[in-house]
Amino acid sequence: MNRLERITAILLQLQSRKKITAQQLAQKFDTSVRTIYRDIRVLEEAGVPIGAESGLGYYILEGYQLPPVLFTKDEAGAMLTAEKLLSKFGDLSLYKGYNSAMDKVRAVLKTHDKDYLEILDEGILVYSMRPQIDTSIFPNKFISNIQHALVNQYVLEIEYYSRYTNETNRRKVEPIGLAFINGCWHLFAWCRMRKAVRDFRPDRIKNLSILNEQYNKTALPTLTEVTKLFLQPEQLTQIVLRVEKGLEQHVSDLKNYLGFEKELDCGSYIEMEFQYGDIKSFAVWMLHWGNHVTVVKPEALKQEIKQLTKGLFEHYQK
């Protein structure tokens, strides 16, 4: 990136953020803080009204607007790919908004870049193997509403279906944040009915209302703290597996979802170590690999696999 490109990119960063520090800009553009200071002076000399607050960073003064932004074909291609993913793994309200934004992107592209995007559009498909949800019962169009409540700290009232109890009830919740985990959106929120933080699936919300009542988000744990609590249970078990050579890549495809820690090449096999909380679900996963993967420890996992295989054998003996 040459200096002119960097200065233009700095201007875009200033325009798109409330405040940004010289250190953050230096890290983003892989340059020194002193160089950023010089670039900021160039922008100021060009008439860009830049303010600064000690310890908080630089910002554009209210009222200044950049001229219309032109996108490169690579940038437009990246956004098209995101649109494809959002159509399958997103939410109806988000997709409508993004689709509208993409129309604006296409409108400002040069003719040959529009041709590039049309060809790329035909060359990308996204399939989802998740079962289709009955949208007449679960509309799944509440992500943008949740975002609005999250930013403005409004209480939500939801009509929520619990798969475990097979019941639907109404709850008032205080949103903490949204997370996309293993192909599903999750709303983490303080549940007033349970008086605890709970994990809600937006695609199991039948109805949602934003109440004219605000809550104090600073009194709740952060989204990072909550996801660590839910995704990393306190009681973890060390699991060591012996994996046949040639199979380790297939096992590796899912290892990060299973608390993978490290692996060691032992010549004729790979030894993999995990930290996982649910021995039973890990044992079910182990059945995929038959006798190509051997449990070194713990003994409890070996016994769980024996019980599962015994139950299967007895079932098919009948």
Q: What is the CATH number of the domain that holds 307?
A: 3.30.70
Among the listed residues 203, 149, 140, the one whose alpha carbon sits nearest the alpha carbon of residue 172: 149
* 225 and 243 inside one domain: no
pLDDT (tens digit per residue) in 152-201? 999 999 999 887 778 899 999 999 999 987 778 899 999 999 999 999 99
* 115 and 159 inside one domain: no
Residue 131 located in a structural domain? no
Residue 200 located in a structural domain? yes
- The Cα 24–Cα 20 span in angstroms is 7
The helix (run of H) or strand (run of E) holding residue 290 is: none
Cis bond before residue 298 (omega within 30° of 0): yes
Q: What is the mean pLDDT of each run of 10 residues along the chain (318 residues)?
A: 83 85 92 93 89 90 71 86 82 79 80 86 79 62 89 96 84 94 86 93 91 95 87 76 81 68 88 86 87 92 94 88
Q: Range of 265's domain?
A: 237-317
Q: How many CB atoms lie within 10 A of CB 223?
A: 15
Residue 136 located in a structural domain? no
Among the listed residues 298, 263, 268, 264, the one whose alpha carbon sits nearest the alpha carbon of residue 283: 298
* Helix orientation angle between 111-122 and 73-89, rounded to the nearest 10 degrees: 30
Helix, strand, coil % (nearest 5) of the chain?
45, 25, 25
Amino acid residing at 89: F
Residue 135 located in a structural domain? no
Determine the Cα angle at 176 with ends 173 and 178, to 5°. 105
Q: What's phi and psi for 252, nearest 5 deg?
A: -65, -25
Q: How many CB atoms lie within 10 A of CB 302?
A: 15
* 25 and 95 inside one domain: no
User: pTM higher than 0.75, yes or no?
Assistant: no
**Structural domain count, the chain:** 4
Last residue of a domain, which of 230, 249, 269?
A: 230
What was the pLDDT predicted at 129?
Answer: 60
What was the pLDDT predicted at 98?
Answer: 83
**Residues 156, 173 contacting (CB under 8 angstroms):** yes
Q: Is the dihedral of CA 43, 46, 50, 52 positive or negative?
A: positive
pLDDT (tens digit per residue) in 229-261? 777 655 788 999 999 887 766 666 666 667 788
**Residues 97, 144 contacting (CB under 8 angstroms):** yes
Count of H-run helices and E-run strands, the chain:
11, 11
